[in-house]
Structure 1
């Protein structure tokens, strides 16, 4: 996972797939593990995620850093924060200095 941001109602992630696991299998595993954690923390049980997901493959010539900036800028575009670093629910393989100005 090169970067991710957890929004109030969905997850955005930039994932580099390996040779051994398909995106469908990976997403099923991610949903299973994170739902288990969310249910344990919340003292509840049941579904957390909706079925399905939306994906977009990057062309080989697309800039991964630009894609990461787009992903982590979601809280800014949603009006949740004014700066990427102010949002607590994200992570990235690049430093905050590399992605802190994702819109500019």
Structure 2
């Protein structure tokens, strides 16, 4: 489910958790294709990380089908180039991408942080800013990334770039609870929105899809009331 104007946490994994890029040239090609496809279909990218076998994005599509169109275009463009470069055929991704809308007020910064902590958590770097293939260096003031559009919630961290970068550094150093990380990932993989009751009601008004998991098993039998 993707809804125009709402933040979405997206995860796209390699087939059988195989690598989605073999070297830095692949990673550059993936991000270049992502930038072009997102611009074409009017999807703002707020945070990202290219991990060895999966991709995380935090995005806002401007149309209901913009996110799907972006990822379809990315698949056609990047996978074709990847297969040609590495003399292979077949799929690269594990089926369709997974994504869920999230409420900005409550989950923008936690999801951004979780995305940018991925390389550190995996032991690839000690400092998230040192990982070239994520948005962390941009948000910490190391470089300006043309792929990114900073959301209002990030601007609210401070009145100047220095204040925002310092506040973001503190949030990254604070880290996240493993239970929180699993909750964010699980919601994205299963497509369940994250937010307040008011947010879920708002989404329910514009979506026919169930917004919360159904109870497992058969519904309980209702005993007839004696008359």
Q: 1:91 to 1:41 in 2, by over 3 A?
A: farther
Aligned length: 104
Change in Cα spacing, 1:29 to 1:41, as seen in structure 2 (3 Å) is same
> After the TM superposition, which of the residue ranges 78-87 and 29-38 deviates more from structure 2?
29-38
Q: Which residue of 2 aligns with 1:27?
A: 71
Deviation, 1:66, is 3.5
Q: Is the 8 A contact 1:3 1:71 kept in 2?
A: yes
- Give the structure 1 partner of residue 91 of structure 2: 47
Question: Which structure: larger Rg?
Answer: 2
Deviations 1:75-95 (A, max 9, x none): 111222111122121236x52
What's the C-alpha RMSD, in Å, of the aligned pairs?
2.6
Counterpart position of 2:122 = 78
Unpaired runs of at least 5, structure 1: none
Report what 2:52 is aligned to.
Answer: 8
Q: Deviations over 1:31-56 (max 9, x none)?
A: 22222332344344432212122212
What's the counterpart of residue 62 of structure 1? Answer: 106
TM-score for the superposition, normalised by structure 1: 0.76
User: 2:62 aligned with 1:18, yes or no?
Assistant: yes
Structure showing the higher helix proportion among its residues? 2
Q: TM-score, normalised by structure 2?
A: 0.39
Deviation (angstroms), 1:57: 1.3
How far 1:70 moved relative to its partner?
Answer: 1.5
Structure 2 distance, partners of 1:72, 1:64, is: 12
Equivalent-residue separation in structure 1 for 2:67 and 2:173 (angstroms):
28
